[in-house]
Amino acid sequence: MTDINAFIDEKVKSNDVFLFMKGSPDFPQCGFSGQVVQILNYLGVDYQSANVLESQELREGVKAYTNWPTIPQLYIKGEFVGGADIVREMFQAGELQAHFEQAGIPVKQQA
């Protein structure tokens, strides 16, 4: 396992909810990352994140880690959930909230 894969693996597995995104939760640097941050904040879910714009190696490493071509990427309990479109669709259908609850992660708001 390369150093970047080890870094990604550690972040994904040691945090209940982890978001690889462009920018930070306080200052998303793309609309798609901003949408996922808005959803997570609305639900009141505690999460950690990493800014892939800080490292080309991280940006490419995340894509290779999941074999998923886009960022943001959301992980719940070590499981890759999806990018912005999937997260938004799951949220609108109530599936994201159910997924959090099944994983034992409290949700403060329902859609």
Binding-site residues: 30
β strands within the chain, DSSP E = 17-21, 23-24, 27-28, 48-51, 73-76, 79-82
> What are the residues facing 48 on neighbouring strands?
18
Largest CA distance in the chain: 40
**Residues forming the annotated binding site for [2Fe-2S] cluster?**
30
Start-to-end CA distance of the chain, whole Å, equals: 39
d(CA 9, CA 108): 28
d(CA 19, CA 36): 9
